[in-house]
Amino acid sequence: MEPPHYDQVQTQGDQGVKRLRGKVLGRLGVRGAFAAVILGTGLFYVPHALARRPAFAVMRVHSYLRRGVYYLDADLSLRLNPRAHRALVHGVALTFIVEIHIIRYRRFLWNEIIGRLRERYRLSYRPLTRTYRVENLNIGSSNAYDSLAGALDSLNHIRRLPLIDASLLARHTRYLARIRVGLDDQALPGPLKLVSLLLPGWQLESTWNQWVLVQ
């Protein structure tokens, strides 16, 4: 038997994607599917060069020891693509997660993660006041901003974030830390949560940025 030609394989793959999309849209219903498509796709062209630019990135990290506790200062770059921005101004709150790992370096074994931090922030738009609100979901604080740029700028700068108590670290041992930031697609409303599985524009996440915490 001859192996299938490329066109046949491509057709079978397309049919599989269509069946998956059909199942998703069937679960959403007509109104939910229409709303999800409107918000999820944006219904306008996104330049290819813009789509390739990283939307989220960790630009700078600095950790330091103060009174027995290691702290972190970090500068991020958060840029909403057209789909996420359109959803935001139509009332969909966006939740960002900053993940941090504390790692014990082991020369001859796999490194060991000894600590995990998850800082969660929610960005929402208030159409009546035309303001953007940023909430720190870990501590319950919030601030309002007149522009999206101002709201994102507040998220871009993490200052004096406690990482770990120095007493928990063994002496004469090397420790690493790493950080990344991403959009929590599980916090999206039901219709968008399903559509985000099919649209790559919703997978907003930086790469890991790793540095030496203790030499």
Residues with Cβ within 8 Å of residue 206, at least 6 apart in sequence: 54, 56, 57, 58, 76, 180, 181, 182
Q: Indicate whether 11 pLDDT > 50.
A: no
Indicate the DSSP class of residue 196.
Answer: T
3-state class (DSSP) for residue 195:
helix
CB 74 within 8 A of CB 61: yes
CB 133 within 8 A of CB 123: yes
Q: What are residue 78's DSSP bridge partners?
A: 56
Residues with Cβ within 8 Å of residue 32, at least 6 apart in sequence: 190, 191
Indicate the DSSP class of residue 205.
Answer: B
Residues with Cβ within 8 Å of residue 131, at least 6 apart in sequence: 125, 144, 145, 146
Residue 187's pLDDT is 81
Percent of the chain's residues with pLDDT above 70: 69
Query: Would the pTM count as exceeding 0.85?
Result: no
Cα 37 to chain centroid distance, Å, stands at 21
Model pLDDT for residues 39-88, shown as the tens digit of each residue: 444 433 334 333 445 589 999 999 999 999 999 999 999 999 888 899 89
Q: How far apart are CA 136 and CA 138, in angstroms?
A: 6
Single-letter amino acid, residue 184: D
Residues with Cβ within 8 Å of residue 43, at least 6 apart in sequence: 37
Model pLDDT for residues 175-208, shown as the tens digit of each residue: 999 999 999 988 887 766 666 656 666 778 999 9
Terminal-residue alpha carbon distance, the chain: 61
Radius of gyration of the chain (CA): 21
